[in-house]
């Protein structure tokens, strides 16, 4: 099973692109705050949405927007320009719901 459920706020505006085949692709990152008793930790996650979901997120989401999502983990590996092995784990979006919109003064805090 490969399933991720997260809530968080966008740390920047989503980026919408179109593939050479004409399919919409939207990437964005969210910050998710985890609490452990008195302490807290923030995790940052890259998310990719495809098709109509990509268009909706690009149109309605901005920095600071709260989002609840489910998806699956995806790992990509490559060699960088110096020949070093690199990898990245991201989330491929499956479902989402919008949460609270950011207040005007909260947008600057997220970044």
Specify if 67 maps to a domain.
yes
Specify if 107 maps to a domain.
no
**Residue 19 maps to which CATH number?**
2.40.50.140
pLDDT tens digits, one per residue of 49-100? 999 999 999 999 999 999 999 999 999 999 999 999 999 999 999 999 998 7
Specify the pLDDT at position 14: 97
Distance (Å) of CA 51 to CA 18, 25, 47, 48, 55: 9, 6, 14, 10, 7
| Distance between CA atoms of residues 44 and 98, nearest Å | 18
Q: Show the domain range for 65.
A: 4-101
Specify if 9 maps to a domain.
yes
Q: What is the pTM of this model?
A: 0.82
Query: How many domains are there within the chain?
Result: 1
Length of the chain in terms of residues written? 111
């Amino acid at each position: 099973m490969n399933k991720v459920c997260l809530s968080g706020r966008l740390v920047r505006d989503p980026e919408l692109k179109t593939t050479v085949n004409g399919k919409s692709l939207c990437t964005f990152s969210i910050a998710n705050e985890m609490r452990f008793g008195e302490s807290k930790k923030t995790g940052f996650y890259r998310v990719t949405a495809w098709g109509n979901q990509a268009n909706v997120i690009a149109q309605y989401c901005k920095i600071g927007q709260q989002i609840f999502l489910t998806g699956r983990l995806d790992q990509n590996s490559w060699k960088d320009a110096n020949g070093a092995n690199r990898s990245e784990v991201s989330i491929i979006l499956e479902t989402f719901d919008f949460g609270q919109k950011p207040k005007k003064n909260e947008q600057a805090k997220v970044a």
